[in-house]
Chains A and B, each alone.
Chain A
Amino acid sequence: MLRYILSRLGQSLILLLIVSFIGFAVLTLAPGGPLSQFALSPGMTQEQIDKIAAQMGLDRPVVVQYFDWMSNLVVGDWGTSYRDGQSVLHVIGSHLFATLLLMGTATVISVSLGSTIGIFSALKRGSAFDYATTVFAMVALSIPTFWFGLIAIYFFSLNLGWLPAGNMYTVGDGSVLDYASHLIMPAAVLALVDVAIWSRYMRTSTLNVINQDFVRTAKSKGLPRRRVVLKHIVGNSLVPMITLAGLQLPMVLGGALVTETVFTWPGMGRLFLDSLGYSDYPVVMGLLMASAILVLVGNLAADLIVALIDPRIRLD
């Protein structure tokens, strides 16, 4: 087990190195570059820009800059924001909770709802319900998240007035109920696409399990149908879903970015957009890294959990 964990950890680290290099190269080599914001100020001469570049070490070769940045990153120095001089790690940290809360809630909604739909359509394969959920899933996959958010705001906030249209809490309130009323709409909007994906995969996974020998054995032993479904079928078809949850992370994170914008949710997605607007390179780069780390850690955790609970997976 230890060997398996170490080798997976090693793979993730290598992947993270490649990811960081791609991100760094993309941002550094893009036309304009980190200095574009200075070039815009009136009265700035080329000489002064060169001076700033030299001061910030931006005149060195990309590879040297990368190693410099990377070695600082490892010891926890992610640079300082151009915008307000705060440390990047601190800025990201202060937005992490909101994003994790939104993503976590959305995942709980999509996993529970999506799996239930998937199991029922597999058990009643070919029924009207099965067909309807197939069509629903494909349409749901095609709706732009942000547009669905706008429509939800139009109905539930502007017309019915049931839910607040944005932000994470009301200033001066901040009770759990207050948080919940702000959370429910963006989380549901973010979950929509994932409900569709989960229901499809869960359906396939359940169909695979239904045809296995141990299910037939359980049935022929005379176990009640409810027990066979709940214990033998659902339990086993959920295992591949853990891996899927890890693989879905980049999509959920990307969806969170747009959802946060529509609902003015104070998370990493909004921070990313704000930082782009200010050409705040260190924060943009830090967020790219943070999202990649989040994704890789999620995948790693998913693989380890699967290895722990599924005895069929050989670790050596």
Chain B
Amino acid sequence: MSSLTANTPARRPFIKSRALRRFLSHKLALIGLIMVLTLTAACFIGPFLLPYDELHIDLMARFAPPGTGGHIFGTDPLGRDIAARLFHAGQISMAVGFAVMIIATTIGSVVGVVSGYYGGKVAAVLMRIVDAFLSFPSVFLLLALAAFIQPGPVMIALIISATSWMEVARIVEAEVKSLRNQDFVQAAHMLGLSNRWIMFRELLPNAIGPIIVAATLTVARAILLEAYISFLGYGIQPPLPSWGNMLNGAQQYLQSAPWLAIIPGLAITIAVTGFNFIGDGLRDAFDSRAQGE
């Protein structure tokens, strides 16, 4: 390498590789990554390998136990193949999870960086709103919203985002507040850079580690919340399957067809555990203080 590249602040690629190295040496994080990748692959490739599609109704094969008649996970009360529905539902649940991650992280970052940068009254008002949203049990607020709004996957993603952005806002606000008076920000002011440039090009990239961790945990939380409200009947509406609404009618068949309840719940648990493991690994990878490096 030339001396030029050695002298330019090669800070980011270096930290990135160190963080990646830490992440890969984190056993739980790797297990989480494998869980999530396996589940994703199953959900997107699985449907092509199955003999039935998720809407095929076969009333002669109602409540077929797992493993019978080519139904690896059995059938539901309408004789639909649970494996096909599970994989299709997985695509929807995970899509909702990622959509929420993007929307909630964006809202949270903007609120956090604005209140952290300006401080004073702006911060007081914005952070009180954050506190107010945190005082609602989010499931209550979500249900109230979902019950009165036409629920489709997009709408569900939006309202889950509306109750999931506060964590990121708090993290970013704290981070930006501590960076606000540092030399590089003073220098940016001196150069006459606009407030917007300083906030989004100078300050926000410095908080990227905690933001990525929070974003990963948001996916886990969103999948869980979608399952909660769909289970209660206010989320994704049938015939579109989601992991939550597959559990919706399962309680009444608990005695005769327990697989209706067990299988989708396991899928949710595996997905959420996977994302939580990854988030934990990322936290350790980005947190240089914990490692003493």
Contact = CB atoms under 8 A, between A and B. Distances in A.
Interface of A: 14-15, 18-19, 22-23, 26-27, 30-33, 36, 135, 138-139, 141-147, 150-151, 153-154, 158, 250-251, 253-255, 257-258, 261-262, 272-273, 276, 279, 284, 287-288, 291-292, 295-296, 299
A151 B261 contact: yes
Interface in B108-151: 128-129, 131-141, 143-145, 147-150
A144 B276 contact: no
25 contacts: A15-B135, A18-B128, A19-B136, A23-B136, A31-B149, A32-B149, A138-B28, A139-B273, A141-B272, A143-B272, A144-B269, A144-B272, A150-B250, A150-B251, A150-B265, A154-B258, A154-B261, A250-B138, A254-B137, A257-B139, A258-B228, A262-B251, A272-B143, A276-B147, A276-B234
A276 B261 contact: no
A18 to B, nearest CB: 4
Nearest to A33: B148
**9 nearest A-B pairs in the assembled complex, by CB-CB distance:** A147-B265, A254-B137, A254-B139, A142-B272, A30-B148, A142-B273, A18-B132, A253-B137, A276-B147
A206 to B, nearest CB: 17
A253 B261 CA distance: 24
B217 to A, nearest CB: 10
A286 to B, nearest CB: 12
A210 B149 CA distance: 51
B254 interface: yes
Contacts, number: 137
A31 B128 CA distance: 27
B132 A151 contact: no
Contact of B265 (A22, A151, A272, A296): A151
A158 to B, nearest CB: 5
A33 B140 CA distance: 17
Contacts of B262: 151, 154
A135 B143 contact: no
Interface string B266-285: 00110011001100100000
Given A150-B247, A150-B261, A258 B136 contact: no
A163 to B, nearest CB: 14
B273 A27 contact: no
Contacts of A27: 144, 148
B156 to A, nearest CB: 14
Given A19-B136, A254-B137, A257-B139, A30 B145 contact: yes
Interface in B201-234: 220, 224, 227-228, 231-232, 234
Interface of B: 28, 128-129, 131-141, 143-145, 147-150, 220, 224, 227-228, 231-232, 234, 247, 250-251, 254-255, 258, 261-262, 265, 268-269, 272-273, 276-277, 280
B269 A138 contact: no
Contacts of A250: 134-138
A251 B269 contact: no
Most chain A beta-carbon contacts within 10 A, residue among B129, B150, B254, B277:
B254
Contacts of B133: 22
Contact of A18 (B129, B147, B250, B272): B129
A23 B142 CA distance: 11
Most chain B beta-carbon contacts within 10 A, residue among A26, A36, A147, A153:
A147
A291 B140 contact: yes
A164 B60 CA distance: 34
Contacts of A253: 137, 140
Given A138-B277, A257-B137, 17 more contacts: A15-B131, A15-B132, A22-B129, A26-B141, A31-B149, A135-B28, A142-B220, A142-B224, A143-B272, A147-B265, A151-B265, A250-B138, A253-B137, A254-B137, A258-B232, A291-B137, A295-B135
A55 to B, nearest CB: 21
Contacts of B128: 14-15, 18
Contact of A150 (B129, B143, B254): B254
Nearest to B268: A144
Contacts of B261: 147, 150-151, 154
Contacts of A258: 139, 228, 231-232
Contacts of B247: 146-147, 150
Contacts of A287: 140
B254 A153 contact: yes
Given A147-B247, A276-B147, A276-B234, A158 B255 contact: yes
Nearest to A277: B147
Most chain B beta-carbon contacts within 10 A, residue among A19, A153, A287:
A19
Contacts of A272: 140, 143
Contact of B136 (A142, A143, A150, A291): A291
Nearest to B254: A154
A14 B139 CA distance: 23
